[in-house]
């Protein structure tokens, strides 16, 4: 564990004391969440490419190896399938591994391990598999087609997995802690655009955010925007612009995309009667279609207008900044569609 008795000293290497509330970046909130769980539970350990001495591609695990040692902060070969296989095996022995992908785009290299082994083990023979697969996803950073994808829907369609996409530092910390404690395999997508661009107040005391519960981040009366991850901030910015026109937007942050909070989805539609579904990944087979089906099943009679989808294009994510800007949803697009729907 390193020097000091667990839980009795400030975590100096992270630059905070446990007794004071903090303004944290999205990245720092995730760091602290993992750190605190490793401090709390010796069965938690990290593994991944360059997470030890280097501290991770985005420095999420910076300083961890000094505190917890190389037996609990394990550098691996560049082999995502092997990383997931090792984490899965460790989880079956009672450990709680947290495996990092340098970019979530490369989680596809471990797809067989995840979809055919990790996701099915509890169904096949009742064994818990308490592992977390985490890493950066998303665009707006000009990373091109191999470093800017949003692969969450690859796994939403795999029963047995929990898929988490936080939008704020508070949720990022609370959800990573909840994922580590969960006895089911969790895939934790961290939007890289948010890592150092947003800050939020995070309680000093221990807390978790429940997996599978959406959060109403803005109340409104005219129409609802259902979204998650970086698009929550796009929706909030659009809502501020629309408020100047007297259009009152409600925003529901899903936080977890599998399982979905069907009750919260239906409730916001019943309240405002009009809905936009906003997500960054491509349209065909995207989460918007599933949410539209839920609304059709749960709140069809409450609709006073068509369900509107605002999504990325059915294309690879371009590297060129102007092309990426064209590919991805933008605030002005949300504002335009909201005005049209309000007037419908």
Asked whether the beta carbons of 10 and 17 are under 8 A apart, the reply is yes
Question: Each residue of 81-93: b (16+ CB within 10 Å) or e?
Answer: eebbbbbbebbee
Six token digits for residue 122: 């509890």
Question: How far is 135 from 177, CA to CA, in rounded Å?
Answer: 15
Asked whether the beta carbons of 251 and 225 are under 8 A apart, the reply is yes
Question: How far is 182 from 178, CA to CA, in rounded Å?
Answer: 6
Q: Please identify which of the residues 147, 191, 233, 279 carries the catalytic annotation.
A: 147
Query: For the chain, how are helix, strand and coil distributed in percent, rounded to 5?
Result: 40, 20, 40
User: Which one, of 76, 32, 71, 80, lies nearest residue 50 by Cα?
Assistant: 76
CB atoms within 10 A of CB 60: 25
Asked whether the beta carbons of 262 and 214 are under 8 A apart, the reply is no
Annotated catalytic residue 147: yes
Question: How far is 276 from 308, CA to CA, in rounded Å?
Answer: 5
- Residue 283 DSSP SS3: coil
Question: How far is 266 from 12, CA to CA, in rounded Å?
Answer: 45
**Which residues are catalytically annotated?**
147
């Amino acid at each position: 564990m390193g020097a000091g008795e667990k839980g009795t000293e400030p975590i100096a290497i992270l630059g905070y004391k446990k007794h004071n509330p903090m303004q944290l970046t999205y990245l720092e909130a995730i760091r602290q969440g993992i750190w605190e769980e490793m401090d709390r539970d010796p069965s938690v350990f990290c593994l991944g490419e360059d997470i030890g001495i280097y501290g991770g591609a985005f420095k999420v695990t910076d300083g961890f190896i000094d505190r917890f040692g190389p037996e609990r902060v394990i550098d691996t070969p560049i082999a995502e399938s092997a990383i997931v296989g090792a984490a899965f095996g460790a989880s079956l022995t009672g450990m709680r591994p947290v495996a990092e992908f340098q970019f979530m785009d490369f989680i596809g290299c471990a797809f067989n391990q995840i979809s055919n082994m990790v996701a099915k083990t509890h169904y096949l023979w009742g064994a818990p598999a308490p592992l977390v697969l985490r890493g950066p996803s998303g665009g707006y950073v000009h990373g091109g087609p191999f470093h800017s994808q949003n692969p969450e829907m690859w796994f939403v369609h795999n029963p047995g997995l929990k898929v988490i996409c936080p939008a704020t530092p508070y949720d990022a910390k609370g959800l990573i802690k909840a994922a580590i404690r969960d006895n089911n395999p969790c895939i934790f997508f961290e939007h890289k655009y948010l890592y150092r661009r947003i800050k939020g107040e995070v309680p000093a005391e221990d807390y978790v955010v429940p997996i599978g519960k959406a959060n109403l981040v803005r109340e409104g009366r005219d129409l609802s925007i259902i979204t998650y991850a970086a698009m929550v901030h796009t929706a909030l910015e659009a809502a501020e612009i629309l408020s100047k026109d007297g259009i009152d937007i409600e925003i529901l942050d899903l936080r977890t995309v599998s399982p979905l909070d069907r009750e919260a989805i239906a409730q916001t539609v019943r309240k405002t009667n009009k809905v936009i579904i906003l997500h960054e990944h491509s349209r065909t087979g995207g989460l918007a279609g599933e949410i539209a089906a839920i609304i059709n099943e749960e709140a069809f009679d409450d609709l006073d207008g068509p369900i509107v989808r605002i999504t990325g294009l059915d294309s690879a994510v371009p590297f060129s900044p102007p092309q990426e800007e064209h590919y991805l949803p933008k605030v002005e697009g949300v504002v335009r569609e909201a005005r049209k729907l309000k007037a419908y």
